Structure 1
Amino acid sequence: MPLDDAALAWLALALVPELLPRRTFALVERFGTPRAVLEAPAGALAAADVPPAVVASLGTAAGRARAETLKLARAGATLVAWSDGAYPPALRHIAQPPLVLAVRGSLGEPDEPAIAIVGARRASEYGRHMAAELARQLAQAGVTVVSGLAAGVDAAAHHAALAAGGRTVAVLGTGIDRVYPKWHRELARAVAGQGALVSEFPCGSPPLQFHFPRRNRIISGLTRGTIVVEAADDSGSLITARHALEQDRQVFAVPGPVGVPAHHGPNRLIQQGAKLVLSARDVIEELWPELLPRLAARRAAAAEAALSAPERQILAAIGPEGRHVDDVIRQAAVPPGAALETLLALELRGLVCQLPGKRFCRRAA
Structure 2
Amino acid sequence: MKADQNNLFKSSFSPAESIADDPVKTLALYLVPGIGAVYFRSLINSLGSPSEVFSASQQMLESVPGIGPQTAAAIKSAKLDQTAEDFWGKLLTINARMISIWDEEYPERLKEIHDPPVLLFVRGSLPQPGEQLVAVVGTRRPSIYGVRQANRFAEGLAQAGIGIVSGMARGIDSAAHDGALQASGRTYAVFGCGIDYIYPPENKSIAEKIEHNGALISEFLPGTSPDPGLFPRRNRIISGLCSGVLVVQGGFKSGALITAKLALEQGRDVFAIPGNVDDKESQGPHQLIRAGGILVNSSQEIIAELGFTEGSDKFPEIKREKMPQLNPTELEVAQRLSHDPIHIDQLVQDLNKPVSSILADLLNLEMKGWVKQLPGKLFIRNR
Q: Same fold (TM over 0.5)?
A: yes
Does 2:52 align with 1:39?
Answer: no
Structure 2 CA distance for partners of 1:248 and 1:208, relative to 1, 3 Å? same
Task: Between 284-293 and 245-254, report the one with greater CA deviation.
Answer: 284-293
Contact 1:18 1:54 (8 Å CA) reproduced: no
Task: Provide, for residues 111-160 of structure 1, a one-character-per-residue CA deviation record: whole Å limited to 9, x for no partner.
Answer: 11110000000111111111001001000000000000000000000111
Displacement, 1:169?
Answer: 0.5
1:24 aligns with: 40
Letter in 1 for 2:208: R
Tell me, in whole angstroms, the C-alpha distance in 2 between the residues paired with 1:147 and 1:104. 15
Match of 2:222, SS?
coil
Match of 1:68, SS?
helix
1:231 aligns with: 250
Task: Provide, for residues 58-84 of structure 1, a one-character-per-residue CA deviation record: whole Å limited to 9, x for no partner.
Answer: 723454333322211101112211221
Tell me, in whole angstroms, the C-alpha distance in 1 between the residues paired with 2:248 and 2:165. 14
Displacement, 1:15?
Answer: 3.2
Match of 1:303, SS?
coil
Tell me, in whole angstroms, the C-alpha distance in 1 between the residues paired with 2:110 and 2:305. 21
Match of 2:216, SS?
strand
Letter in 1 for 2:325: L
Tell me, in whole angstroms, the C-alpha distance in 1 between the residues paired with 2:132 and 2:245. 12
Tell me, in whole angstroms, the C-alpha distance in 2 between the residues paired with 1:64 and 1:46. 25
Tell me, in whole angstroms, the C-alpha distance in 2 between the residues paired with 1:71 and 1:4. 22
2:211 aligns with: 192
Q: How does 1:322-361 map to 2 (within 5 A)?
A: none
Task: Provide, for residues 265-288 of structure 1, a one-character-per-residue CA deviation record: whole Å limited to 9, x for no partner.
Answer: 111111111111111011100114
Match of 1:289, SS?
coil
Does 2:95 align with 1:79?
Answer: no
Task: Provide, for residues 6-27 of structure 1, a one-character-per-residue CA deviation record: whole Å limited to 9, x for no partner.
Answer: 2435444433464332343344
Contact 1:285 1:292 (8 Å CA) reproduced: no
2:31 aligns with: 15
Structure 2 CA distance for partners of 1:79 and 1:31, relative to 1, 3 Å? closer
Letter in 1 for 2:247: V
Task: Between 255-264 and 8-17, report the one with greater CA deviation.
Answer: 8-17
TM-score w.r.t. structure 1 length?
0.76
Structure 2 CA distance for partners of 1:50 and 1:303, relative to 1, 3 Å? farther
Does 2:195 align with 1:176?
Answer: yes
Q: How does 1:61-100 map to 2 (within 5 A)?
A: 61-100=80-119
Q: Percent identity?
A: 41
Displacement, 1:167?
Answer: 0.6
Contact 2:159 2:318 (8 Å CA) reproduced: no
The count of corresponding residues between Structure 1 and Structure 2 is 305
1:254 aligns with: 273
Structure 2 CA distance for partners of 1:303 and 1:199, relative to 1, 3 Å? same
Does 2:298 align with 1:263?
Answer: no
1:217 aligns with: 236
Displacement, 1:33?
Answer: 4.8
281, 298, 303: which one pairs with 2:319?
A: 298
Q: How does 1:308-323 map to 2 (within 5 A)?
A: none
Task: Provide, for residues 174-217 of structure 1, a one-character-per-residue CA deviation record: whole Å limited to 9, x for no partner.
Answer: 11111000111011001111111111111111101221111111
1:324 aligns with: none
Match of 1:60, SS?
coil
Structure 2 CA distance for partners of 1:36 and 1:25, relative to 1, 3 Å? same
Contact 2:166 2:188 (8 Å CA) reproduced: yes
Structure 2 CA distance for partners of 1:72 and 1:227, relative to 1, 3 Å? same
Structure 2 CA distance for partners of 1:62 and 1:291, relative to 1, 3 Å? farther
Structure 1 vs Structure 2 CA RMSD:
2.7
Tell me, in whole angstroms, the C-alpha distance in 1 between the residues paired with 2:243 and 2:184. 21
127, 131, 137: which one pairs with 1:118?
A: 137
Tell me, in whole angstroms, the C-alpha distance in 2 between the residues paired with 1:82 and 1:10. 12
Does 2:19 align with 1:6?
Answer: yes
Q: How does 1:41-60 map to 2 (within 5 A)?
A: 41-42=57-58, 45=61, 48-49=67-68, 51=70, 55=74, 59-60=78-79
Structure 2 CA distance for partners of 1:50 and 1:264, relative to 1, 3 Å? farther
Contact 1:173 1:201 (8 Å CA) reproduced: yes
Structure 2 CA distance for partners of 1:16 and 1:145, relative to 1, 3 Å? farther
Structure 2 CA distance for partners of 1:64 and 1:41, relative to 1, 3 Å? farther
Structure 2 CA distance for partners of 1:100 and 1:258, relative to 1, 3 Å? same
**Between Structure 1 and Structure 2, which shows a larger proportion of helix residues?**
1
249, 254, 261: which one pairs with 1:242?
A: 261
Letter in 2 for 1:152: G
Structure 2 CA distance for partners of 1:18 and 1:124, relative to 1, 3 Å? farther
Contact 1:138 1:280 (8 Å CA) reproduced: yes
Tell me, in whole angstroms, the C-alpha distance in 1 between the residues paired with 2:36 and 2:220. 12
Tell me, in whole angstroms, the C-alpha distance in 1 between the residues paired with 2:322 and 2:38. 50
Contiguous gaps of at least 5 residues in structure 2: 1-15, 329-383
